[in-house]
Copies of this chain bind each other. A is one copy, B any other.
Amino acid sequence: MKISLGPKTLLYPTPVLVVGTYDAKGKPNVMTASWGGICCSQPPCVNISLRQATYSHQNIVDRKAFTLSIPSDGQVRHADYFGLASGRDTDKFTASGLTPVRSELVDAPYVSEFPLILECRLVHTAELGLHTQFIGEVMDVKIDESSLNPEGKVDICKIKPLLFAPDTREYYGVGEFIAKAFSVGKEG
């Protein structure tokens, strides 16, 4: 028997995405967001939603670019810190000791120490209410070579991305392999 929780943002899992931008003075900034994901295969696009009040929001509007840096679970303190502090009054890269790298493809920086990077140019903006959704075309994906499996594919068990659980506001890691997709369902 199901019970009603009302209209809420409860969807599992959500990712932990660190959005990289430059401000008007060229200072690199990062903020963490979990309202985002993949939204188109061709051209490859991702979406990220930010509140208009955030420093990063204006940076994306101005620069028409952002990166997504995906932290490993061992980098959770950095990821959480990037969601707590504001670039308006803090240089989060300096405070964290992490390294901003200027993208050669889009006008935005990414986090050198995080294992997976998406470099995105802004292609679509939707004002949805408290959040603005930015859609970026992925111009390149960069990865630590050590996060690939022997076949050259991205190994989620090596990236060890974080999951965010909205209602309890907790981070989890990736668990066990369950099944091959586009395969296990054929068995009926």
Residues of chain A having any CB pair with chain B under 8 Å: 1-15, 17, 34-47, 49, 51, 68, 70, 73, 76-84, 116-118, 123-124, 126, 128-131, 133, 135, 137-145, 149, 153-156, 159, 161-188
10 closest Cβ contacts across the A-B interface? A80-B185, A81-B185, A175-B175, A173-B175, A40-B128, A37-B37, A154-B167, A42-B130, A12-B161, A156-B165
Residues of B within 8 A of A9 (CB): 38, 40-41, 44-46, 138
A/B interface sample: 15 pairs, CB < 8 A: A3-B142, A10-B141, A12-B156, A34-B38, A38-B49, A39-B128, A80-B179, A80-B182, A84-B182, A126-B126, A154-B166, A154-B168, A156-B163, A169-B182, A172-B177
Q: Are A184 and B44 in contact (CB under 8 A)?
A: no
Q: Are B142 and A170 in contact (CB under 8 A)?
A: no
Distance of A82 Cα from B181 Cα, bound (Å): 11
Contact of A161 among B13, B70, B169 (CB under 8 A): B13
Distance of A94 Cα from B100 Cα, bound (Å): 53
Distance of A185 Cα from B75 Cα, bound (Å): 10
Q: Are B177 and A174 in contact (CB under 8 A)?
A: no
Residues of B within 8 A of A17 (CB): 11
CB closest chain-B residue, reference A151: B168
CB closest chain-B residue, reference A49: B39
A35-B41, A39-B128, A68-B11 known; A141+B179 contact, CB < 8 A: no
